[in-house]
Amino acid sequence: MKNLRKLCSFIIALTMTIGITVYTQAASREELSSIHVSQAGDFKYWTDNSPAKQILVNYIKDITNKKSPDFVPVQDRIAVFDLDGTLICETTPSYFEWMMYLHRVLDDPTYTPPADVRTEALAVKNAIKDGHMPPEMERDEAISQAKAFSNMTFPEYTKYVRDFMQTPAEGMINLKRGESFYMPMVEVVSYLQSNDFTVYIVSGTDRPALRVLVDGVLKITPNNIIGTDTAILASHQNGKDGLDYVYSKDDQLVRGDFILKNVKMNKVSNIAREIGKQPILAFGNSSGDFSMYQYTITNNKYKSAAFTLLCDDTSREFGNQQKADAMAKSAKDNGWTVISMKNDFKTIYGPGVKKAVITNK
């Protein structure tokens, strides 16, 4: 027993001395925020022979080389990232904000939803369970979600998001929703920022929720986050038009009705409106990012590229090979680079995270 204790003490001391990080669960938000990649040799969470990583590294070497004809000035090094399925898990069993909406409407004892909001939430829940999303659901859910959080002040909403981030990621063991960032993709963000890129997140997720979710993990400022928008009103505005109302010392900002779902062509419109420059790199994972990919690589005065993440890992994640194959074909047809979660990611959330056995509810 004494020898065993000595061995354990030695291993702990060695771990602390040489800086090995041991994840017994998922990487915490603090551990995620400490990920830093300044050069190609710093990547830890990608497989050594990853083709996608090498393509990215070669690209960065080229466009940051002042002697290269493809050199890009720092002020024009702009990269845009989708969120769900690109930077963070979207299969537990659906998008972060959709699951928070379902919790709010169906499981929150402090909230009594209007009949139409409850009806839509049940439809969304059933669609997630069945694996079939009607085309109109994306817009209908966003409208209903805005109603579910309408009139909530920003501090109240921020707390709600943070509390939901602490809940377990359904279907996974040792993973909270707020920790479910893909570690290899956090490395990519850090690598780009180390090479003087300005990084934006351009997501279908509610913008204020996205700001809370990212804060403390990725070094991306709130003004570099573009998402789905709802109206922002003064608490005593009472339906008056903003041109006819003056914000008072007694007011607080509150959430209002749905404005715009930031997916598909809307991503391009918002990039043009809010960034004012064409990105040179785009990262996404679904058809909702196709417009953003094409805008990035079409008629760009600089060397540009699009990377699309395949949901092809069915052992560590709830991948879908059929969707992955379809995305791979689209990438091949359009000149986008594929990232394989199965083959390119050495780890996703840390080795302590496992899939659970899912039972039908």
Please give the chain's pLDDT, 361 residues, in tens.
Answer: 444 444 334 333 333 333 334 444 789 999 999 999 999 999 999 999 999 999 999 999 999 999 999 999 999 999 999 999 999 999 999 999 999 999 999 999 999 999 999 999 999 999 999 998 899 999 999 999 999 999 999 999 999 999 999 999 999 999 999 999 999 999 999 999 999 999 999 999 999 999 999 999 999 999 999 999 999 999 999 999 999 999 999 999 999 999 999 999 999 999 999 999 999 999 999 999 999 999 999 999 999 999 999 999 999 999 999 999 999 999 999 999 999 999 999 999 998 999 996 555 4
- pLDDT for position 359: 54
Q: Provide the pLDDT for residue 358.
A: 58
What's phi and psi for 251, nearest 5 deg?
A: -85, 155
Name residues whose C-beta falls within 8 Å of residue 257's C-beta, 6 or more positions apart in sequence. 143, 146, 147, 150, 230, 231
How many whole angstroms separate alpha carbon 291 and alpha carbon 198?
A: 20
Q: What's the predicted TM-score (pTM) here?
A: 0.91
pLDDT of 351: 87
Which residues sit opposite 253 in a β-bridge?
A: 234
| Structure confidence at residue 25 (pLDDT) | 75
The rounded distance, in Å, linking the Cα atoms of 114 and 144 is 10
**CA distances from residue 274 to 76, 223, 266, 322 in whole angstroms, order as listed:** 15, 9, 12, 35
Query: 318: which residues sit within 8 A by CB, 6+ positions away?
Result: 91, 92, 93, 171, 355
What is the C-alpha separation between 121 and 279, in angstroms, rounded? 36
Print burial letters for 171-195: b (CB count within 10 Å at least 16), e (below 16): bbebbbbbbbbbbbbbbbbbbbbeb
